[in-house]
């Protein structure tokens, strides 16, 4: 039976898969703003020290072996944000799906299907995006200052 609106009058649209194919004109190595959500929303799966450390270990490992190039990843209670780029021979959707699968099996994280990505344009500042990302816990009222949030990982420079 197809779900209907709250009045029971009209069928709700079926959820489609999000298109994640990279157009051929996009340069390899592009930087993406990535959002990945846990399931169900509103449940704190990520902001526990042992879980966060395990996630950060997987991120650091994949960064070290150049599966991706993570600029910053910030965990919120029910989702995460990242600034990330991928090697020339990598497929964004495959890489993220494999990582989500590994983290789910190894650490019991339940993910929403798919994810959201936004490729940064040449006029978007990487540091401005990173600062925006760092302010997310402040905007959510979880900390008073971004520096207080401990669920963030950045590679050593």
Summarised one tens digit per residue, pLDDT across range 79-133 is: 999 999 999 888 899 999 999 999 999 999 999 999 999 898 876 788 899 999 9
Domain at 46, CATH number? 3.30.70.1290
Helix axes 49-64, 92-107, angle to 10 degrees: 140
Q: Which helix (H) or strand (E) holds 52?
A: helix 49-64
E-only strand ranges, 57-123 = 69-75, 79-85, 116-119
What's the average model confidence in pLDDT over 2-27?
53
Q: Does some domain include residue 114?
A: yes
**Does the pLDDT of residue 24 top 50, yes or no?**
no
Work out the pLDDT band at 28, boundaries 50, 70, 90: low
Q: Does some domain include residue 20?
A: no
Query: Average model confidence (pLDDT) for the chain?
Result: 86
**Does the pLDDT of residue 1 top 60, yes or no?**
no
Q: What percent of the chain has pLDDT over 70?
A: 80
Residue recorded with tokens 């040449």: 122
Phi then psi dihedrals of residue 152, to 5 deg: -140, 145
| pLDDT, position 124 | 72
Q: How many domains does the chain divide into? A: 1
| pLDDT, position 81 | 97
Alpha carbons 3 and 133: distance in angstroms, whole number? 35
| pLDDT, position 7 | 63
Work out the pLDDT band at 2, boundaries 50, 70, 90: low
Print the domain residue range for 104: 32-153
Q: Does some domain include residue 126?
A: yes
Q: Does some domain include residue 95?
A: yes
Q: Does some domain include residue 17?
A: no
Alpha carbons 70 and 103: distance in angstroms, whole number? 16
Torsion sign (Cα): 109, 110, 112, 113: positive
């Amino acid at each position: 039976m197809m779900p209907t609106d709250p009045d029971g009058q009209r069928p709700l649209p079926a959820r489609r898969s999000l298109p994640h194919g990279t157009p051929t004109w996009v340069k390899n190595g592009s930087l993406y703003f990535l959002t990945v959500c846990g399931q169900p929303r509103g449940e704190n799966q990520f902001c526990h020290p042992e879980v966060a450390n395990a996630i950060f270990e997987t991120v650091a490992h994949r960064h070290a072996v150049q599966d991706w190039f993570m600029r910053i990843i910030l965990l919120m209670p029910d989702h995460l944000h990242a600034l990330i780029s991928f090697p020339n021979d990598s497929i964004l959707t495959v890489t993220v799906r494999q990582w989500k699968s590994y983290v789910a099996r190894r650490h019991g994280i339940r993910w929403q299907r798919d994810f959201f990505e936004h490729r940064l344009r040449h006029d978007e500042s990487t540091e401005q995006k990173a600062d925006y990302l760092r302010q997310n816990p402040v905007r959510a009222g979880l900390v008073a200052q971004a520096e207080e949030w401990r669920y963030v990982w950045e590679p050593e420079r």
